Amino acid sequence: MGILSGRSCLLVGASSGVGYGAALRFAEEGANLIACARRVERIEKLAEE
Protein backbone atom coordinates (compact mmCIF):
# COMPACT_ATOMS: atom_id res chain seq x y z
CA MET A 1 0.00 0.00 0.00
CA GLY A 2 1.34 3.36 -1.03
CA ILE A 3 0.96 6.79 0.48
CA LEU A 4 -1.85 7.63 -1.98
CA SER A 5 -3.83 4.44 -1.44
CA GLY A 6 -7.55 5.14 -1.44
CA ARG A 7 -7.16 8.69 -2.76
CA SER A 8 -8.34 10.00 -6.11
CA CYS A 9 -6.35 12.17 -8.48
CA LEU A 10 -7.27 14.08 -11.65
CA LEU A 11 -4.32 14.52 -13.99
CA VAL A 12 -4.52 16.81 -17.01
CA GLY A 13 -1.89 16.35 -19.71
CA ALA A 14 -1.17 12.79 -18.68
CA SER A 15 -0.17 11.50 -22.11
CA SER A 16 3.41 12.84 -22.08
CA GLY A 17 6.15 14.56 -20.13
CA VAL A 18 5.68 15.39 -16.49
CA GLY A 19 2.00 14.41 -16.54
CA TYR A 20 2.85 10.94 -17.83
CA GLY A 21 5.51 10.45 -15.19
CA ALA A 22 3.21 11.71 -12.45
CA ALA A 23 0.47 9.33 -13.56
CA LEU A 24 2.80 6.35 -13.36
CA ARG A 25 4.13 7.38 -9.96
CA PHE A 26 0.70 8.12 -8.49
CA ALA A 27 -0.53 4.72 -9.70
CA GLU A 28 2.48 3.04 -8.09
CA GLU A 29 1.52 4.73 -4.83
CA GLY A 30 -2.03 3.38 -5.06
CA ALA A 31 -4.01 6.40 -6.26
CA ASN A 32 -7.24 6.07 -8.24
CA LEU A 33 -6.49 8.03 -11.42
CA ILE A 34 -8.58 10.06 -13.80
CA ALA A 35 -6.17 10.90 -16.60
CA CYS A 36 -7.01 13.44 -19.32
CA ALA A 37 -5.14 14.07 -22.55
CA ARG A 38 -5.57 15.25 -26.14
CA ARG A 39 -3.83 12.25 -27.70
CA VAL A 40 -5.98 9.14 -27.40
CA GLU A 41 -3.25 6.71 -28.48
CA ARG A 42 -0.88 7.85 -25.75
CA ILE A 43 -3.46 7.85 -22.97
CA GLU A 44 -4.47 4.32 -23.98
CA LYS A 45 -0.81 3.29 -23.68
CA LEU A 46 -0.74 4.78 -20.18
CA ALA A 47 -3.89 2.85 -19.25
CA GLU A 48 -2.22 -0.40 -20.32
CA GLU A 49 0.75 0.25 -18.05
Span 18-39, pLDDT tens digits: 999 999 999 999 999 999 999 9
Count of CB atoms situated within 10 Å of the CB of 17: 9
Is residue 24 included in any domain, yes or no?
yes
1: pLDDT strictly greater than 80: no
Is residue 30 included in any domain, yes or no?
yes
26 membership: H or E segment, kind and range: helix 17-28
Range of the domain at 44: 8-48
pLDDT at 2: 93
Banded model confidence at residue 13, pLDDT cuts 50, 70, 90: very high
Q: Percentage of the chain surpassing pLDDT 70?
A: 100
Count of CB atoms situated within 10 Å of the CB of 32: 12
Question: Structurally, how many domains does the chain consist of?
Answer: 1
49: pLDDT strictly greater than 90: no
CA 5/CA 21 separation, integer angstroms = 18
Is residue 27 included in any domain, yes or no?
yes
Is residue 3 included in any domain, yes or no?
no
Contact assessment for residue 5 and residue 29, using Cβ atoms and an 8 Å cutoff: yes
User: What is the bridge-based pairing of β-strands 32-36 and 8-12?
Assistant: parallel
Is residue 1 included in any domain, yes or no?
no
